[in-house]
Amino acid sequence: MPRILFIFLGLVALTPATSAGIPAPGDRVPTLPNVVLIYTDDQGYGDASCLNAQSAIQTPNLDQLAREGLSFTDAHCSDTVCTPSRYGLLTGRYSWRTELKRGVFGAERKCLIADGRMTIASMLRQAGYYTAMIGKWHLGMDFPGEPGNRDWTQPVLDMPLDKGFDHFQGIPASLNYGILAWFDGRHAKVPPTLYTNKKPNQIALSDYRIKPPYDQTPEATHERLGTRGMEIAPDFVDSECLTRFTSEAMTLIRSRSQSAKAGKPFFLYLPYTSPHKPVIPIPEFRGRSKAGAYGDFVIETDHHVGQIMKCLREEGIAENTIVIFTSDNGPENTWKQRLEKYAHDSSYIYREGKRSIYEGGHRVPFFVHWPNGIEKPGRVVRRTVCQTDILATLADLVGQEIPDRAGEDSESFLAVLRDKPSKRDAVLISHGSKGRFAARQGHWKLVMKHQRNRMELYDLESDPGEENSVLRQHPDIVKMLTKEATNAVLNGRTTPGTVQPNDTGWWNDLTWVSEQEYTARQP
Dump pLDDT digits (tens) for 466-522: 999 999 999 999 999 999 999 999 999 999 999 999 999 999 999 999 999 999 998
The pLDDT value given to residue 98: 98
* Mean pLDDT of the region 324-349: 97
Mean of pLDDT over the chain? 94
Q: What is the pLDDT at residue 23?
A: 38
Q: How far apart are CA 408 and CA 391, in angstroms?
A: 10
**Residue 5 above 90 pLDDT?**
no
Query: From residue 319, how far is each of 23, 31, 248, 372, 458 by CA, in Å?
Result: 16, 12, 21, 5, 41
Domains observed in the chain: 1-31 (no CATH), 32-58+77-294+307-417 (3.40.720.10), 436-521 (3.30.1120.10)
Q: What are phi and psi of 415, to 5 degrees?
A: -60, -30
CA–CA dist 135, 212 (Å, integer): 21
pLDDT digits (tens, 9 = 90+) for 262-299: 999 999 999 999 999 999 999 999 999 999 999 999 99
Three-state helix/strand/coil letters over 107-119:
CECCCCCCCCCCC
Q: Check residue 31 and give its pLDDT.
A: 79
Cβ-count burial of 174 within 10 angstroms (0-12 exposed, 13-18 middle, 19+ buried)?
Answer: buried
486 three-class SS: helix
pLDDT band at 206 (very low <50, low <70, confident <90, very high): confident
User: H helices within 288-434, ranges in order?
Assistant: 292-314, 335-342, 359-362, 389-398, 414-417
pLDDT value for 333: 95
Helix (H, G, I), strand (E, B) or coil at 370: coil
What CA–CA distance (Å, rounded) separates 397 from 389? 12
Tens-place pLDDT, residues 248-259: 999 999 999 999
Residue by residue, DSSP assigns 191-234 as ---EEE--EE-SSSTT-EE--S--BSSHHHHHHHHSS--EEE-T
Segment 108-128 mean pLDDT: 98
At residue 16, the pLDDT reads: 34
Within 10 A of 362 (CB to CB), how many other CB atoms are there? 32
- Per-residue pLDDT band for 203 (boundaries 50, 70, 90) equals very high
pLDDT of residue 452: 93
Question: Considering the entire predicted model, what is its pTM?
Answer: 0.94
Residue 3 has pLDDT above 80, yes or no: no
Q: Look at residue 10 in the predicted model and tell me its pLDDT.
A: 43
The pLDDT assigned to 205 comes to 77
| Contact present, 65 and 324 (Cβ < 8 Å) | no
HEC string for 434-465: CCCEEEEECCEEEECCECCECCEEEECCCCCC
Note the pLDDT tens digit of each residue in 290-310: 999 999 999 999 999 999 999
If pLDDT is split at 50, 70 and 90, which confidence band does 11 have?
Answer: very low
Cis peptide upstream of residue 213 (ω within 30 degrees of 0):
yes
Specify whether the CB–CB gap between 99 and 504 falls below 8 A.
Answer: yes
pLDDT at 392: 98
pLDDT digits (tens, 9 = 90+) for 17-66: 333 333 343 344 457 999 999 999 999 999 999 999 999 999 999 999 99
For 61-72, the DSSP string reads HHHHHHHHSEEE
Measured CA to CA, the distance from residue 325 to residue 311 in angstroms comes to 16
Give the separation between CA 345 and CA 48, rounded to whole angstroms: 11
3-state secondary structure (DSSP) of residue 365? coil
- The DSSP code for 50 is T
Three-state DSSP class for residue 20: coil
374, pLDDT greater than 70 = yes
- What are φ and ψ of residue 332, in 5° steps? -60, 160
pLDDT in tens, 409-458: 999 999 999 999 999 999 999 999 999 999 999 999 999 999 999 999 99
Query: Residues of the chain with pLDDT > 70: what percent?
Result: 94
pLDDT (average), residues 214-238: 96
How far apart CA 359 and CA 249 sit, in angstroms, is 32
